[in-house]
Amino acid sequence: MKMNLLYILSIILLSIGCEKPVDKVYSIRIENKSNDTIRFYASYAYPDTSIVSEKPRLDMAYPNDYSHIDSKKKWEDVLPNNIISIFILGKDTVDTYNWEKIRSDYNILKRYDLSIEQLESMNWTVIYQ
């Protein structure tokens, strides 16, 4: 009996501090159809298309594989101008040069500036080739 009560109290105490689970995740799929590993990040600052000054968290997609950019909110509620900029960089570049050098030389493989409507028509999938 004491064990059951202790178990129930533990569950209650642990659940009080827990964040509510996310009902849905909104994803943009990044497909890498190239033979090289890529790194990428998203910027919500359009029309400013400069590379951010502080090195962001860079996601990775291996050759002929994919990854995601996720949001807990609908993209319409996240993007102030309804446009997302996705910066694609070479993994070798990121491994070789510091962020300031990458930024000053604008050393990216590709930048996509995509509206919500474009993403919808692309089935929320961006293909890098």
CATH number, residue 103: 2.60.40
Residues with Cβ within 8 Å of 41's Cβ and at least 6 positions away in sequence, in order, are: 52, 56, 57, 58, 59, 86, 87
At 125, give phi and psi (nearest 5°).
-130, 125
Q: Which domain holds residue 38?
A: 22-128
In a domain, 4, yes or no: no
Coil, strand, or helix at residue 4?
A: helix
| Other beta carbons less than 10 A from residue 95's beta carbon | 9
In a domain, 123, yes or no: yes
In a domain, 112, yes or no: yes
In a domain, 93, yes or no: yes
In a domain, 117, yes or no: yes
In a domain, 38, yes or no: yes
pLDDT reported for residue 17 = 59
Per-residue pLDDT of the chain (129 residues; tens, 9 = 90+): 555 555 665 666 556 655 555 579 999 999 999 999 999 999 999 999 999 999 999 999 999 999 999 999 999 999 999 999 999 999 999 999 999 999 999 999 999 999 999 999 999 999 999
Say how far apart CA 66 and CA 59 lie, in whole Å: 10
Number of domains in the chain: 1
